[in-house]
Amino acid sequence: KRGKMFEYKYLSEEDIVKILISCDKELEETYELYQSFLITIKERKFKKFKEIVEDNYHKFKNLIKTSIRTFKKHLEYIENSLNYEYSNGRLEGINRKIKVLKYISYGYGSFVNFRKRILICAII
């Protein structure tokens, strides 16, 4: 049976989130932590990101702690990604195209022909 919480009300998504996170203090704190991570990443502020990780590492007991632990473990790499504009996204896209070509061609008898096919597809 449907609950009566949102029945006959026209609420925005923001209002629904506010209502739901107000039901549980831990959920609200976790949501606020998540939002602070998103903001610091968007604004590319590594020092603030590191502060958030270090300040909140021992505060949480739920699944968010696993994420914080992972952030803590990879802080060096996160710093590089926030401080520099470089990205390997384009290279990863090229690698994916090559893998797809390799998959759909069921293997080439000659590496030279495979290389030519990659170069032809790269031009397009």
68, burial (CB in 10 Å: exposed 0-12, middle 13-18, buried 19+)? buried
What is the domain count for the chain? 2
On whether residue 2 sits in a domain, the answer given is no
User: pTM for the complete prediction?
Assistant: 0.64
User: How confident is the model over 78-100, as pLDDT tens digits?
Assistant: 999 999 888 888 888 888 988 88
**95 and 72 share a domain?**
no
> What is the pLDDT at residue 35?
94
On whether residue 7 sits in a domain, the answer given is no
On whether residue 8 sits in a domain, the answer given is no
User: How confident is the model over 26-79, as pLDDT tens digits?
Assistant: 889 999 999 999 999 999 999 999 999 999 888 887 788 889 999 999 999 999
**79 and 101 share a domain?**
no
Q: How confident is the model at residue 106 (pLDDT cuts 50, 70, 90)?
A: confident
Tokens standing for 109? 């008898």
What is the span of the domain harbouring residue 94?
89-123
On whether residue 1 sits in a domain, the answer given is no
> How many Cα atoms sit within 13 Å of 44 on the Cβ side?
7
Higher pLDDT, 74 or 102: 74
